[in-house]
Structure 1
């Protein structure tokens, strides 16, 4: 499964993207509980604020566009895990 997080905007207007391909064993062991803890169906309707970032988070077929202020709890954990894992992949 591919898991990705993209951050755009903010006061500098920069874009960053992190992605990781996770195998079935690693998904079950390390990722699935966090992915399932995220409220995927409750992400609509919140607008971003000036000079704050917007996030686009994906886990397989699941997708959530989020304003920066929504990236808390399990969302923040998923973004942090993705950033760390993407930094450890070769290439």
Structure 2
């Protein structure tokens, strides 16, 4: 089976970073997903379903979470959004949940 060249492999590298900040304690939590090459089409679909152009600035308020979602293809940021807690629904929720699940440490039960 032929190996992809470095340019192709770099182009296919997809990294999604989700940062949640704020809340009562004002702490930040970060999750990162970097899917294996064979999973990139699934993740690309999740990313492309999100309304990046329609992302509005998050509303501010005491004790509310703020979310930042960054998507990188290779070394280039291709999407960036800042959302309020109430905006994390539909395709945004699906993307955030998948990133959080992918970043979760393996279960000790196995």
Relative contact order, higher structure (CA 8 A, sep 6+):
1
2:19 aligns to what SS in structure 1?
strand
Post-superposition, which runs of at least 4 consecutive aligned residues in structure 1 deviate over 4 A?
none
Task: Return the TM-score normalized by structure 2.
Answer: 0.72
- Write out per-residue CA displacement over residues 23-61 of structure 1, whole angstroms, 9 at most, x where no aligned residue: 432110x21221111000111234233211000001222
CA–CA separation in structure 1 for the residues paired with 2:27 and 2:55: 23
Q: CA RMSD in A?
A: 1.6
Structure 2: stretches of 5+ with no match in the other structure: 1-13, 73-77
1:64 is the counterpart of 2:76: no
Structure 2 distance, partners of 1:82, 1:51, is 23
For the 8 Å contact 1:48–1:68, the answer to whether it is kept is no
